[in-house]
Structure 1
Amino acid sequence: MALLLSGLIIIVSPRAFKAQNDINLKIENSEQINLCGADRDKRVIITLYIGKILQSDSLFGFNGQLNYNPEKIQFHTALPINTLAEFFEYNRADFNQKGKIIFTASQWMSNIPISGDRPLFAFLGNYIGTCPDTSWVNLDFIEFTDEFKKTIKDVSNGLVKAEILFDENHYLKTYFDTDTLEFLEKDSTKNIQVVFDIKPGLRLSSLQINIENENPNQFEIYDISSLNDYIKIDSIEKIEGKIQLFLSVLNDTIAGVNLKLTIIEKYKSDNIAKLNIEPVKINDCSCISKLLNAYAFMKSNKIDTTPTSIYDDNISYKETKYIIHENYIIVSNENKTIQEIIITNLLGNVIKDFKIENEQQIQINTDILDDGIYFFNIVKKNNNREIKKFIKIK
C-alpha cells in the first residue's frame, strides 16, 4: 500500500496493519477471595478485556463460552454495567449448563459500532469451596461479527485464588473453669472443667489438645470425659505427665464448658503444681487463626510429711493394715492413731464419714455402696492422712 504525503511516497507493510489489529484477550479476577470472611468476601467477578476498541474497529456483536470448575465456583449473574456489553441493544449470559458461561451481545437495529476502553463483559459468582485453592476460568471460544477488524492473538485465562486470611478475632482458647484447684482436708478427688472460647462458624471439626501436669506423682489425672454431644473423645495418649487428647467436633457451636477432668490427689504436701492446657492442632481448612493456651494451679490446704506412713512422737508406724471381706472391710487401728475415715467417690463427694474413738479394729460395711470406684481417706493424728482406692463389684 502506498500513501502520498507532501510529495513523499511511504511504503507501509501489510504486516504492520495486521499487527495493529492483533489483540490479547485477558480474563481477570477483580476480587480477593477470603474463605472465612462474610459472603461478600467470597464473591468472584470475572471480566473479559480486549483493550481499547475504536469505532473504526467495527464491533457489532460477539458470542462465546467460558469454562470453570463448578466444584469450586458457581457463577450466576451477568454484569454488563460498565462494560462494552452495556451499549449493545441485546446482551445476555446463560448459566444453566454446569461449569459453563455462554454469553452474547449484538446490535439489532443500530448500524453504529460499539467502542470504548472498557471490559468486554463481566460475570458474578461465588466461591463455594471451603479450602484454600486456586481455580481457573478458561475461554472455550469467542466469535465476533464479520465486520470486526481485530483478531484475537493470545488469551490469558483467569486465575481465582481462594485464601484463609488471618483474623485477630478467629481464635480458639481453651482454659479451666477455675484458676486454682484446691484439695481440702477431706478431699482426695476433685473435678476441673475445660472451657472453649470460640466463635461459631469457624469450621472446626477435629482438635488436638495437650494437657501437661507439672506434678503427676502427687496429682493424677484419673479420668477425662466429654460433657455434651458436640465433643467426642477419639483417643487419649499419656506421655510422661503430658496427655495428648484427640477430639472430634460434631458441632462447631461449642463455646462453653465441654470437658471434665477428674484429678486424684495421692498425698498431701506443700507443693503447688501447674496444670497447663493448650490446643496444638486443628483440622485443615478451619478458619481459626490463633490457638491460645491457659493454666490452673493444683494445691493442698494441708501438709503431710509422707503419703503412706505416719510419724507420731518420733515413732514410725507401718502403713495401715486392711482385711477385705465380701461385705465389709476391717481397718487395723492397733496404735489408735486413726481419728476419722471418710469414704468418697470419684467426684470427691463424701459417701460416708466415720468418727473413730479408741477402736483397735474398725469395721466398714460395704453393702451401703453401689458398684464403683471409691477412696478411703484415713485421717490420723497430727492431720496425717492415707488415701486408699478400692473398687466395689458385686
Structure 2
Amino acid sequence: MIDVQLEVKENPNKKPKPDPENLQFGKMFTDHMFTMEYSRDKGWFQPQIVPYEPITLEPAAMIFHYGQSVFEGLKAYLTEDGDVQLFRPEENLKRLNRSNARLSIPPVSEELMLNYLKQLITVEKDWVPSAEGTSLYIRPFIIATEPSLSVAPSKSYKLMVILSPVGSYYPEGIHPVSIQVEDHFTRAVRGGTGTAKTGGNYSAGYNAQESAANQGHAQVMWLDGVEKKYIEEVGSMNVFFKINGQVVTPELNDSILEGVTRKSIIELLKEWKFDVVERKISMNELYQAYESGHLEEAFGAGTAAVVSPIGELSSGDQSMIINGRQTGELTKSLYSTITGIQTGKLPDPFGWTEKVE
C-alpha cells in the first residue's frame, strides 16, 4: 500500500536559472526531485519531494550488477497564458508499468504518480522555460537497490523523478537528417526487452550510433534481429514512411517501443482521413518504393524531437535521397500541430493535455 502523504523538504540553496536561449538537453537540473521507496513488506512508501542531491547506494546494490531499471521521458510546457501543462502523461505512466512488468519491478499507482508529478512541477514551476521551443523535461526512473548478488528480482527499489529545462530540438529550424541502416548490431528481438524503456536497450546501441556518426550520419535505423530484413526503429524513435499517399509505420511486435508520440501521430493522421497502416515493412520494399518514385516522406517520432524528418537513408552501397532532402508537408503539419497542442497555441480537441494546477 502506497503512503499517500507527500512530504516536501524545501531546498535552501536555490540555483540560478539558466539562460533559456542556451539550454542543452539534460545538462542542468532543477532544485528538487521526487523520491519514493519500495520494500516487499511495505510496498511503495515514503513519497517525498527533496532537494536535488546525490544518492547513496551500497556497492552490492543490484542495479549495478544486473541492470534492473526502467525509466520514462515526458515534458511540461509553459503556455502563452502562463499555465503549465503536460502532454498525455497517463500514457507515459501506463508504459512505465508495462516496463515494470517486463523487468519484474512492482507496479506503481498511475493515479498517485500523476499527482506526485504535478506537485513536483508545481514546486519547480519557475524552472519551466518560456522561450520558443523550450520545455521542462521530466525523467521518472526506478532502480533496484537491494544489496545482493543473487540473480533474482530485487526486494527493494527506489523511484525518482528529476527535472531538466531543455531547449528547442531544432534551434535553427527543422532539418532532415541522414540515417544509416544498421545491418550488424541488433537493438532488440521478440521476447526480449525492446518494448520496455530500460537502460540496457540504449547503451547496447552506442556501437552502432558511433559507427554511423563516424560516417557522417545522425542516427541509425534498426532492423529486426532475426532476418535483418524488416525496419523497426530509428535511433530511439519510432519511424514513419509516406508511400504513394499512404503512411506506413512498423507494427508493434514485442521488440518495438510503443511511443506516445507514435500513438498521437497515428490518431492525428486518422483524424485527418489519411490512410495510415501499422504493418511489417522491409528495406527491400522501401527501396522499391524509392526507385518507383513513390517514397514521398520519412520521419522519426519521439518525445525529444516530436518528428525528425529523414532526408537520406544509407544502406551498404545504396543511398536513398528522400524528398530532395527537404522536409515534407505532412511532416511539417504533424510537427506544428502536435507542438501547437503541447504549448497551448492550438486547441486540443483530443483531450491530450493536462494542466498542472
TM-score (norm 2): 0.19
Structure (1/2) with the larger helix percentage: 2
Kindly name which structure, 1 or 2, has the bigger radius of gyration based on alpha carbons: 1
TM-score, length-scaled by structure 1: 0.18
